Amino acid sequence: MPGLGSVRALAFDVFGTVVDWRSGVARDAAAILGARGLDLDWGAFADRWRALYQPSLERVRSGERPWTRLDDLHRESLLQVLEEFGARSLSEAEIEDLNRAWHRLDPWPDAVEGLGRLKRRYVIATLSNGNVSLLVDMAKRAGLPWDAVLGAEVARAYKPLPESYLTTARLLDCRPEECLMVAAHHHDLVAARSCGFRTAYVHRPREFGPAQKDDLPAEHGHDLVVADFLELADALGA
């Protein structure tokens, strides 16, 4: 691909880009809370939990609180969401089980095949805000063939702080321009590009459900804009 010949490693956002977080969280909430007799809008439950994600990360990024792994931030947010939805009587074991829904997310249909093709030609690694144990559990369950599990916990910096991107490149022994950041979120790609990464936008039109609205990819100047990982592999000759 013209202009991308120096790329040696692909760094992937995970939530929403590789896996379908909304359906997985809604599914597990329905199973665990439904067993308690609750009948909620499970998509709305997942959306509300996810809506607390960036605010909780920002308190760490800003220095308001010390480094805290995502599993623990998710649990704090979950307790708030359970209170808001009137689910107040869960046991500690049930809360822990529901919090681990993020470890059990399903990949998008193209993800495993596409990653397998890309792995044959490139180093493929996570560059996620997820903690390492979460990402490893997810990969084992879903068959995600990562060469390395990197990102925020390893760098002690949540995206979009530059340290998260630059540490990933350094640990892969790559210059930033030798790394292609792959994500379904423009803000992630813009931050990676500001660190010298090349960027590939993958369109995930149902990440946030059927009412999702998207930015226009052309407005952000990404190196590649693709529909899925199979098209990405085609574009990169993998």
Residues 31 and 42 in one domain: yes
Same domain, 145 and 91: no
**Domain's final residue, options 86, 103, 120:** 103
Q: What is the pLDDT of residue 53?
A: 97
C-alpha span between 29 and 143 (Å, rounded):
23
Number of Cβ atoms within 10 Å of the Cβ of 217: 16
The domain spanning residue 61 has which CATH number?
Answer: 1.10.150.240
The answer to whether the peptide bond before residue 217 is cis (omega within 30 degrees of 0) is no
- Residues in the chain where the model's pLDDT stays below 70: 1-2, 211-219
Residue 4: inside a domain, yes or no? Answer: no
- Indicate if 54 and 90 belong to the same structural domain: yes
Provide the residue count of the chain.
238
| Structural domain includes residue 29 | yes
Examine the domain organization and report whether 84 and 112 are in the same domain: no
| Same-domain status, 189 and 91 | no
Among residues 46, 76, 103, which one ends one of the domains? 103
Residues 128 and 229 both lie in one domain: yes
What pLDDT, on the 0 to 100 scale, is given for residue 1? Answer: 45
Tokens describing residue 60: 């760490």
For the beta sheet containing 123-128, the strands, ordered from the edge strand earlier in sequence to the opposite edge, are 148-151, 123-128, 9-12, 179-183, 198-202, 224-226
164-174 pLDDT per residue, tens: 999 999 999 99
Are 112 and 98 members of one domain? Answer: no
Q: Is the dihedral of CA 68, 70, 71, 74 positive or negative?
A: positive
Last residue of a domain, one of 78, 103, 128: 103
pLDDT the model gives residue 219: 61
pLDDT for 208 equals 86
pTM of this structure: 0.95
In terms of residue numbers, what domain contains 42? 21-103
Count of the separate structural domains present in the chain: 2
- Sign of the Cα pseudo-torsion (36, 41, 42, 46, in order): negative
Q: Is residue 150 in a domain? A: yes
Q: Clarify whether residues 94 and 202 are in a common domain.
A: no
Q: What is the pLDDT of residue 3?
A: 78
Q: Which CATH number covers residue 229?
A: 3.40.50.1000
